[in-house]
Amino acid sequence: MFKKILIANRGEIACRVAATARRMGVKTVAVYSDADARAKHVAACDEAVHIGGSAPKDSYLRWERILEAARATGAEAIHPGYGFLSENEDFAHACAEAGLVFIGPPASAIRAMGLKAESKQLMEKAGVPLVPGYHGADQNPALLQREADRIGYPVLIKASAGGGGKGMRLVEKSEDFAAALESCKREAINSFGNDAVLIEKYVLRPRHIEIQVFGDTQGNVVYLFERDCSVQRRHQKVLEEAPAPGMTPLLRQKMGEAAVAAAQAVGYVGAGTVEFIVEQPGGYDQPEAMKFYFMEMNTRLQVEHPVTEAITGEDLVQWQLLVASGQPLPKQQSELRIQGHAIEARICAENPENNFLPATGMLAVYRKPQCASFEIGTVRVDDGVREGDAISPFYDSMIAKLIVRGDDRAQALARLDAALAQTHIVGLATNVQFLRQVVKSQAFSNALLDTALIERERDALFGRDTVGRDVAVAAALAHGLQQELAQQGADPFSRRDGWRVAGRYVRSYAWTYRGEDLSAILAYGRAGDADELVIGEGAARSQIALQWRALPDGRLELNLDGRRTVAVVHAQGHVLSVFTEAGSAQITEVDQLAHAGDTGHEGGRLTAPMPGKVVSFAVKAGDAVSKGQPLAVMEAMKMEHTIAAPGDGVVLELLYGPGDQVAEGAELLRIEVAA
């Protein structure tokens, strides 16, 4: 076994690898960029080496600096994690030339599976089923258009060297193909340095099911069962679970054997995932009719590997280290068993209500559910951040992975929702509440799964007020009163039971909640009596008997007309984040003395919704534009985002050029909107 390894990655996967290495008695070396100088993964390792600037191209993708760091620290092997250099054939080859063990497959396997088109040709020879499509080398746009028309719409355009949902476009009609192809190729060259694409028939009611495979240097290959990764947004996974709901033993065996055949065809060593698209021609309730087709092979450890660990009881990183050091697989196929059900939720800094736009900012509050840390157990959190850390625009938007295990799927779902309810993040937008909505949706609960679930269930997943206006106001008000009492102490004039000439003590408040301006009046009751809280006016008016008290653990117990609710409130200035068992929400206190009314939106200004890079403008000064027309493309957190015209008008001025870095809120261009 190795004495010391270098982890050529960052964030939660670097922390994850370091945890297993420490338990095995293997020393670890971290590498870090300028932005990660104080990152959690740096502290998690025994040594750390600075390798460059904040952008990945200046640090985590500079493999010559990583090799220098390995030589300087005496590391014997390099674990690439996932992303960055994990599937880089040249890096794997350079490690071998430098006398370092690459903890992953041989460079030849990465090469064979790295290009989607070539890998599909290889799989066809190995007898693995393929989706109808075009995988040829000729990339003439006119030819690609003809091939798409021949295959029949809808089709998927996919970057041949792609992965992680990047470089992928769904095209539903022929006239949209050319624009989608151009965008896909641009994203592919930026992300992978290769703009070659392939085209495939888009399978209706598709499920994304992948098989975990593992090979050793003695020629043994096993599969550690499957994961269902069908719940996706923007072609990126949101929830993953194992085993796949509705999977029949026969289909599991066929897919497992096909995955092993795929791995053996390229002489695979280490951890890998063979991804299949599964068609459900008979509908959700006929799993015996499902058909599977090879999509691609990821020649690395996957983000979702913890669910496989949870149902098998195996540590896949430990397997990686054992196999890379020349040892045989710890278990053979006949020794592997499925125990229970596991689900992983990816907690990301993003705004689901705004097309999952990535968010940046500081984790002012980051509270996790009680869990077993790395250890395989009921609840586990894998992360690479701490409270007070910043989520920057340089890297992926994922904050943490929350993994739960149950004896069956129903128990796992209940535990996941409870763990998400205990996850409190304040300081930037996250998808935690959205994940809870998905988990509790009828479609997901009943395992009616396909990759269109989020879009299909849009009404149930978006725009939901899970806390409720009255509870949010009561929680915010109780929090403010609690803070006042803590500051005032024994001040007799703040006593609620003190005698007053004018009778009951009445106070007025103003809030904004979900875009609505709210007035609230609180009339203090006598000692032991409920207060009277009046919220809103007219038909929206609520009159509530309110009692509250602070619990020893910092929570607030609210009683609204006899209905008990427990809330946790975190304040950032005038913005209060309210967390209850039902969900979470934000409510803003309005300073009634300073509030002079909303000045309104200044029309004609189009600003950057997040920090990032301007990729291109689709218009120039003087162009007439129509509402919804694409105007500019930005890139942030490895994804492209289109800025559209808010209405009909004329472009007055472009304020930046392609390649410029811009801050959040920066004005990109001006248009004169038609009256």
Query: Among all chains, which residue has been given the structure tokens 């998927």?
Result: 156
Q: Mutual orientation of helices 409-421 and 432-440 as an angle, nearest 10°?
A: 150
d(CA 425, CA 363): 7
Nearest to 176 by CA among 198, 148, 205, 201: 148
d(CA 548, CA 558): 5
b/e string for 275-284 if b means 16 or more Cβ within 10 A? bbbbbbeeeb
- Give SS3 for 254: helix
25-33: which pairs have CB atoms within 8 A and are 24 or more residues apart? Answer: 25/1, 26/1, 26/2, 26/321, 27/3, 28/4, 29/4, 29/5, 29/69, 29/70, 29/73, 29/75, 31/6, 31/7, 31/59, 31/60, 31/65, 31/66, 31/69, 32/59, 33/58, 33/59, 33/60, 33/394
Tokens of 623: 């162009």
Backbone φ, ψ for residue 69 (5° rounding): -65, -40
Contact 207, 292 (CB under 8 A): no
- The overall longest dimension of the chain from CA atoms, in Å, is 92
The one catalytic residue among 169, 300, 380, 415: 300
d(CA 107, CA 95): 10
Say if strands 612-617 and 605-607 run parallel, antiparallel, or are unpaired.
unpaired
10 among known catalytic residues: no
DSSP bridge partners of 298: 273
Active site residues: 300
